[in-house]
Amino acid sequence: MDLPRIGVTLQHFGPHAGPDGIVTVARAAERLGFDAVSVSDRLLVPVGPHWTNDAGLPDDTPWDALEVLTWAAAHTRRIRVGTGVLNSIFESPVALARRLATLDRLSRGRLYVGIGQGGGTRLPPHYIPEEFVAAGVSPGRRGAGFAEHVAAMRACWGPDPVEFHGEHYRVPAAKVGPKPWRGRIPLLFGATARPAIERAARIGDGFVTVAVDWDDTRTQVGWYRAAGGTGSVVVNVIPAPPGTDVPAADFTAAALANLDRAAALGADEVHVVTALLGVSPERQVELLEALAAELGLPAGRP
């Protein structure tokens, strides 16, 4: 069985976040032969008795995803940079399209973008209302509004003059730049509910999820493929409980087991979430070195 492409997360939240740590992990990932580095997105973390952090999210807000990736891209040359996921509807489609295209050109086409419609982990209502309040966006913008946001961004990446007229977003005839390095930036949709996953199959360039429960992940990938999705499937895996420093051998064994599970369900790429371990970037590099050695990286990797 061929293994999926392998990426790693960057430390962009918590006490170990910082410019040196981001560069340390990004450069090591490139040196070791990994395929990509990625970051997540969170506008804010609510406080108060009503908030239940049931998914082990960071206790503080991550640094801005696109600025972190720009910094990582500036200190690397080959490795792809991506988000998994960016809550896209919290920004106007024109502003976000320009930011993404700028990063894509600065990285010479190394950007891919996992996007979502402001999903959360609190059930119900499947999102964090405080983020929508802070962003000045109605939760009703999800669904069809999210799909229209994607269409407006893609219009901005097309030939000038750009023009878009939708129910929620309008772009008057204008020149909008820069344009992506290769004319288009891959947009992978993050989702857990079946309608959103089927939307990813219809209009996305791929699908991204987190393997919290492998039965659920298998079902989600099945929904995506059954709906006609032919794009890349990216699965984020957490090889050790958040906040724990495990021996390198245990980390490697868990990561390899996750890679095998992801390959068995048809994932094209797996991102190993080291940022949640709560250890220093230097320790993360040690763990990645052990995993790369077991995998035989960089030999055999492009």
pTM of the model: 0.93
Distance (Å, rounded) from C-alpha 68 to C-alpha 19?
8
Asked if the structure places residue 301 within a domain, the reply is: no
Which residues make Cβ contacts (< 8 Å) with residue 38, sequence separation at least 6? Answer: 7, 8, 9, 10, 81, 82, 83, 84, 114, 236, 271
**Residue numbers of the domain that contains 177:** 5-295
Distance (Å, rounded) from C-alpha 109 to C-alpha 102?
10
In total, how many domains does the chain have? 1
Mean pLDDT of all residues in 34-61: 78
Distance (Å, rounded) from C-alpha 220 to C-alpha 208?
10
Q: Which residue has the tokens 């990446």?
A: 157
Of the two residues 153 and 60, the one the predictor is more confident about is: 153
Cis ω before 85 (30° cut-off from 0):
yes
Question: Any idea what the CATH number is for the domain that residue 172 is in?
Answer: 3.20.20.30
pLDDT at 58: 63
pLDDT at 1: 56
Asked if the structure places residue 187 within a domain, the reply is: yes
Which residues make Cβ contacts (< 8 Å) with residue 108, sequence separation at least 6? Answer: 181
Asked if the structure places residue 26 within a domain, the reply is: yes
What mean pLDDT value characterizes the chain?
91
Asked if the structure places residue 10 within a domain, the reply is: yes
Most confident of 55-69, 123-137, 258-272: 258-272
**DSSP structural state of residue 167:** S
SS3 state of residue 235: strand
Q: What is the pLDDT of residues 106-163, one digit of tens each?
A: 999 999 999 999 865 443 335 688 888 999 998 889 889 999 999 999 999 999 999 9
Asked if the structure places residue 300 within a domain, the reply is: no
Q: What is the pLDDT of residues 15-44, one digit of tens each?
A: 999 999 999 999 999 999 999 999 998 888
Mean pLDDT of all residues in 66-91: 96
Within the chain, what is the greatest distance between any pair of CA atoms? 57
